[in-house]
Amino acid sequence: MSITCVADVARVHAQDRPNDLALWFEGQAISYGELDRRASQCAQALIAAGVQPGDRIGTLAKGNADFYVLWFGCLKARACLTPVNWRLAPPEIAFILKDAGCRLAVIGADYAATLASLGAELPDLKTLIQVEPGHPIWPGFQAWIGAHPATDPMPQVLPDDDVIQLYTSGTTGLPKGVQLTETNYAACFAGATQVWARFEAGDGVLVAMPLFHVAGANLGMLALLQGARTVILREVDYGAILRLTGEHRIRHAFLAPAIINALLQHPDIADADLSTLDKVYYGASPISEEVLTRAQARFGSDFTQLYGLTESIGGGAWLSPADHEASRGKLRACGVATPGYELRVRVDGRDAETGEVGEIEIRSAGIMKGYWNRPDATAQSIDAEGWFRSGDAGFFDADGYLFIHDRVKDMIVSGGENVYPAEVENALFSHPAVADAAVIGVPDERWGEAVKAVVVLAPGADPDPASIIAHCRPLIAGYKVPKSVDFIQVLPRNPSGKVLRRELRAPFWAGRDRQVS
């Protein structure tokens, strides 16, 4: 039996390695045979609840093994899983569940009260299941599916069927539902397993990223695709990452740059057993050379940079472990196109010259079907030739490697010069007193915008702003050097680790129109 659709991932490994461990979560172990059986029961439970092909099934819960049981169950019923960011405020949660048209949702106990309070705002959400047992009204997930036969419905799957609907973070405007299809996943599987996600059956794979994020959901799916052991964290816990890596002999992990930076500063890092950690994949936000080189030295692992977006099913570019050798001069690059993906940089409707910064565009069978119920937004993002506008600013070097700066909207225009925060942050991170940093543009009467650094200090450090500014001067052009430095306890970040610069900018731009192209 071969894998011809995403649901076949569970079916094939249940046949080939039924007793091998598929999922581990907080002591709960699920074999491949059990995963497939429970997924079939889940599909029957969904069908009995009136779920039709194409219906959206919501889930609002922190990391758990039943996420994948539910996902495969949805696939076997030809329904589409819709994970909700559990860090959102109640009105935002309600917006997504209503926007997706969810009539059934599986909820973690942590959010039961939130969903109960939203009842009046979600009149179409008729069926609620709790992941954990013990809710006074809603059935527990395992008991709910356990009441149904483990008969695989085996529906006919179409290439355009939606596999999952992930919502964009909503850093600008309302969140949009990204429709990712069977065709998209075929492209993801083919491209990723050719170059970076080359797991072996039985390998330990750590899923630390949230499962409502493309990096978390897809890393687990790629692990299951290849018969690996998937170890899931409830949420990012630095001590648990260090402990479980040794206990479960983890070979592969995806860690956002903010997580890597925090691990390097964790008190347990000195004694952590990272000896089995062969491959570390990172992406979702820029990383400084300083943090990267320190991580390479401590982890002793091969590092791979991954660049992509939810809309491209996480694919786009990759920077190989070989390209992480300092002598190659590519440490700040995203790399070259992932197999099955095309990349270009555009400026004013033309292809950018070598070294010229513009907007990165991506074309692939992995590009989303579209934004759910938003044809205008889809048309603005994907042109007639299939090129997706990423909103990211970058350039190609003479060797054809892609370098990303930041989101186009985060670019600072100071005295007519374009400044990308990541360039300045890279210089800041090389200061020994800087534990974390973000750069924003603030109003300036002379220059329009001035570069401001917002810095989290390392424990025990007490530098003055002038010394941090002086440190940057020999490292970057004068117009990029911060004109001021503020200190802060912690930077606001979204679940993928991206700094929420809009929150840092807001106090400075209150009552003004920010003029940034």
Q: What are the pLDDT digits (tens) for 163-198?
A: 999 998 654 457 899 999 999 999 999 999 999 999
Q: Please give the sequence-ordered ranges of beta strands (E in DSSP) within 68-171, or none if there are none.
A: 80-83, 104-107, 127-130, 162-167
Q: What's the pLDDT at 416?
A: 60
What is the arithmetic mean of pLDDT over 14-23?
98
- Mean pLDDT comparison of 74-83, 445-454, 500-509, highest-scoring range: 74-83
Measured distance CA(184)–CA(57) in Å, rounded:
19
pLDDT at residue number 290: 85
Residue 403 and residue 332 in contact, taking contact as beta carbons nearer than 8 Å: yes
Mean pLDDT computed over 63-67: 98
Torsional sign, CA 138, 139, 140, 142: negative
Res. 515: pLDDT tops 70: no
Average pLDDT, integer, range 134-158: 97
**Across residues 26-46, what is the average pLDDT?**
98
- What is the pLDDT at residue 288? 76
Instruction: Note the CATH number of domain 8-339+352-394.
Output: 3.40.50.12780
- Tell me the residue type at 433: A
pLDDT given for residue 285 in this prediction = 63
In tens, the pLDDT along 256-299 reads: 888 898 899 999 999 999 999 999 999 866 677 888 999 999 99
Task: Give the model's pLDDT for residue 246.
Answer: 97
Give the pLDDT score at 100: 98
Short-list 273, 350, 287, CA closest to 324: 287
For residues 48 and 510, the model is more confident at 48
State yes or no: pLDDT of 491 exceeds 60: yes
pLDDT recorded at residue 111: 97
Whole-number pLDDT of residue 406 = 62
CATH number of 413-509: 3.30.300.30
pLDDT value for 172: 45
With cut-offs at 50, 70 and 90, classify the pLDDT of residue 402. Answer: very high
pLDDT of residue 468: 95
Q: Where in the chain do CATH 3.40.50.12780 domains reside?
A: 8-339+352-394
What are residue 489's phi and psi, to 5 degrees?
Answer: -75, -40
- Note the pLDDT tens digit of each residue in 314-368: 999 999 999 999 888 898 899 999 999 999 999 999 999 999 989 999 999 999 9
**For the chain, what percent of residues have pLDDT higher than 70?**
95
Q: Which pLDDT band, with edges at 50, 70 and 90, does 512 fall under?
A: low
Place 418 in a pLDDT band, splitting at 50, 70 and 90: low
Q: How far apart are the first and last CA of the chain?
A: 53
State mean pLDDT over 210-237: 96
Q: Per-residue confidence at 475, pLDDT binned at 50, 70, 90?
A: confident
Q: What are phi and psi of 10, to 5 degrees?
A: -70, -40
Distances (CA, A) of 333 to 14, 222, 418: 40, 24, 19
Average pLDDT over residues 114-127: 94
Taking residues 226-242, report their average pLDDT.
97
pLDDT attached to residue 332: 84
Rg of the chain over Cα atoms, rounded to whole angstroms, equals: 23
Q: In which band, very low, low, confident or very high, does the pLDDT at 517 lie, cut at 50, 70 and 90?
A: very low
Of 378 and 290, the structure prediction assigns the larger pLDDT to 378
pLDDT at 157: 97
Taking the C-alpha atoms of residue 136 and residue 133, their distance in angstroms, rounded to an integer, is: 9
- Position 516 scores a pLDDT of 34
Across the range 306-316, mean pLDDT stands at 95
Average pLDDT, whole number, for the chain? 92
Residue ranges, comma separated, of all CATH 3.30.300.30 domains in the chain are 413-509
